[in-house]
């Protein structure tokens, strides 16, 4: 172990295993580029934490390191080296409550994220578990796959979502030319999922579907009366012999929405033969350009936050940089528009001072305005989904200067300039 220098930038490697998270803090020699370990921490996850998504476990490792190595995080700039999109996820609008809490917690430190290069020799032993898969046990762990089938006038289709024990997801949308019933499409989806699981080397599988008929027939709860469905049941049971264990579970329709969406996609259009449609989720290509142009033309309170979110720029003063990171932790940038995360979890659109004055005037004395007081006016603006830092003071000033409010107010509330002279 080595002691870091004052204000030296430190680097954090994180590792996640099936039951534990760990982190190594290292310093880097600027001349030789040699990395020297500063401190090592690890923690065994509790039962519910083992069910976190991989990205949540990685964030948990960073938070654990920040809590245990707090003096280092307070005195140094920390660069987290990871190939996971932690910075994007912690600043996203579609994250769980725990990720929001962790993002705010980490905002008090000077933490940035960078792609992880080749692992150096001195920390390789600590992170070898991250890239090793236990081939003897991984196949024995249970694979989950959700299936759904649908038949309509446009044709029949099936959606399959196969999830490995490590959380890897395989998604397939299938279209059938001759099927006429939903039950037949459900059984075809089950058969296709079993073939996928066998090709991927699964030994234990759990098939989930929202069709109570299919599940109960395969579990020998319902009697199979239709000859066509009886052939499907026999075929599925033969395929189950490929696995050490195969179970069938009925789930509510809302929990099977992913597979249902894939089946609907398969039947939405007639794709024809030998044609694939790839569906991906991407951010707008020009979002960074839009944000940069907006920041360049803006001179209000939002400009530093947007500049930090888009380019990572912070003030040179450490205290000002700390304040900016605290503010930005509750803000997200979406298609060039800044939003602030409220305490209730709702997202408020951020306004400039000029836009705020227009919003106040419209709510206070617009078409549906009721000339409310300053506190009520502020609450209405928040409920409408708007925010800017000085909205309380601006609301009070606007109400105090409103001519109609002064005329119709009680005498004790009227401004002295409106009192009649004796």
Q: Which of 88-92, 93-97, 178-182, 201-205: highest mean pLDDT?
A: 201-205
Between 113 and 169, where is the model more confident? 113
State the virtual CA torsion across 94, 107, 55, 7 in degrees, nearest 10.
150
In eight-state DSSP terms, residue 230 is H
Residue 196 has pLDDT above 70, yes or no: yes
First CA to last CA across the chain, in angstroms?
A: 84
Question: Which of 6-15, 21-30, 135-144, 285-294 is predicted with the least confidence, judged by mean pLDDT?
Answer: 285-294
pTM score over 0.75: no
Residue 119 has pLDDT above 60, yes or no: no
Residues 379-388: tens digit of each pLDDT: 888 888 889 8
Report d(CA 339, CA 346) in Å as an integer.
10
Q: What is the pLDDT of residue 410?
A: 65
Q: What is the pLDDT of residue 135?
A: 41
State the virtual CA torsion across 265, 269, 274, 280 in degrees, nearest 10.
-40
Residue 415 has pLDDT above 70, yes or no: no
What pLDDT band is residue 266 in, cutting at 50, 70 and 90?
low
For helices 302-311 and 318-328, give the axis angle rounded to 10 degrees. 80
CATH number among 3.10.20.370, 3.40.50.300, 2.60.120.20, 3.40.350.10, domain 10-132 = 3.10.20.370
Q: Report, as an integer, the average pLDDT of 98-110.
A: 83
Query: Do 215 and 186 contact (CB within 8 A), yes or no?
Result: no
CATH number among 3.30.420.10, 3.30.1360.230, 3.40.630.40, 3.30.70.260, domain 137-268 = 3.30.420.10
Residues 322-368: tens digit of each pLDDT: 888 888 878 888 777 888 888 776 788 888 888 888 888 888 877 76
Domain boundaries, the chain: 10-132, 137-268, 287-408
Residue 289 has pLDDT above 50, yes or no: no
DSSP SS3 for 53: coil
Tokens of 32: 């030789």
Q: Where are the beta strands (DSSP E) in 123-154?
A: 142-152
Single out the residue of 193, 201, 194 nearest to residue 138, CA to CA.
201
Average pLDDT for the chain = 77
Q: What is the pLDDT of residue 101?
A: 82
φ, ψ (nearest 5 deg) of residue 307? -65, -35
Residue 195 has pLDDT above 70, yes or no: yes
What pLDDT band is residue 273 in, cutting at 50, 70 and 90?
very low
Report d(CA 246, CA 352) in Å as an integer.
59
Residues 54-82: tens digit of each pLDDT: 888 889 999 999 999 988 988 888 888 88
Torsion sign over Cα 285, 289, 295, 297 = negative
Q: What is the pLDDT of residue 254?
A: 77
Which residues, in sequence order, are CB contacts of 161 under 8 Å at separation 6+? 145, 146, 147, 169, 170, 171, 258, 259, 262
Extract long-range pairs of 326-333: CB within 8 Å, 24+ residues apart. Answer: 326/104, 326/107, 326/108, 328/107, 329/103, 329/104, 329/106, 329/107, 330/104, 331/305, 332/91, 332/92, 332/93, 333/91, 333/287, 333/291, 333/306, 333/309
Single out the residue of 318, 313, 327 nearest to residue 74, CA to CA.
318
Q: What is the CATH number of domain 287-408?
A: 1.10.340.70
Report d(CA 59, CA 419) in Å as an integer.
62
């Amino acid at each position: 172990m080595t002691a870091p220098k004052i204000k030296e930038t430190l680097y954090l490697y994180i590792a996640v295993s099936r039951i534990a998270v760990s982190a190594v803090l290292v310093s880097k020699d600027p001349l030789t580029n040699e990395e020297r370990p500063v401190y090592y921490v690890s923690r065994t996850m509790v039962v519910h934490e083992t069910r976190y998504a991989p990205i949540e476990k990685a964030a948990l490792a960073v938070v654990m390191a920040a809590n245990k190595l707090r003096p280092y995080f307070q005195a140094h700039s920390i660069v987290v080296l990871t190939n996971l999109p932690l910075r994007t996820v912690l600043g996203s609008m579609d994250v769980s409550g725990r990720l929001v809490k962790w993002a705010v917690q980490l905002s008090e430190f000077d933490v940035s994220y960078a792609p992880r290069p080749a692992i150096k020799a001195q920390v390789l032993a600590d992170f070898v578990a991250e890239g090793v898969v236990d081939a003897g046990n991984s196949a024995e762990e249970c694979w989950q796959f959700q299936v759904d089938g649908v038949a309509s006038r446009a044709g029949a289709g099936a959606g399959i979502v196969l999830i490995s024990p490590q959380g890897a997801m395989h998604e397939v949308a299938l279209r059938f030319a001759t099927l006429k019933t939903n039950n037949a499409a459900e059984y075809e989806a089950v058969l296709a999922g079993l073939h996928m699981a066998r090709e991927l080397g699964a030994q234990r599988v759990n098939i989930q579907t929202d069709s109570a008929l299919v599940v109960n027939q395969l579990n020998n709860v319902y009697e199979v009366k239709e000859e066509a469905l009886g052939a499907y049941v026999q075929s599925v049971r033969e395929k189950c012999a490929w696995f050490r264990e195969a179970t069938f579970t009925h789930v509510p329709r809302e929990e099977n929405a992913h597979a249902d969406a894939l089946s609907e996609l398969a039947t939405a259009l007639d794709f024809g033969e030998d044609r694939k449609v790839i569906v991906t989720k991407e951010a707008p290509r020009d979002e960074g350009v839009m944000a940069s142009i907006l920041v360049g033309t803006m001179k209000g309170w939002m400009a530093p936050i947007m500049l930090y979110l888009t380019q990572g720029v912070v003030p040179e003063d450490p205290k000002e940089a700390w304040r900016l990171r605290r503010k930005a932790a509750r803000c997200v940038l979406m298609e060039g528009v800044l939003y602030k995360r409220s305490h209730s979890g709702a997202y408020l659109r951020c306004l400039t001072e000029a836009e705020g004055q227009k919003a106040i005037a419209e709510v206070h004395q617009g078409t549906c305005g009721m000339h409310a007081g300053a506190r009520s006016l502020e609450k209405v603006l928040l409920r409408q989904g708007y925010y800017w830092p000085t909205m309380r003071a601006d609301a009070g000033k606007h109400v105090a200067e409103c001519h109609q409010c002064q005329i119709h107010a009680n005498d004790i509330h009227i401004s002295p300039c409106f009192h009649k002279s004796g």
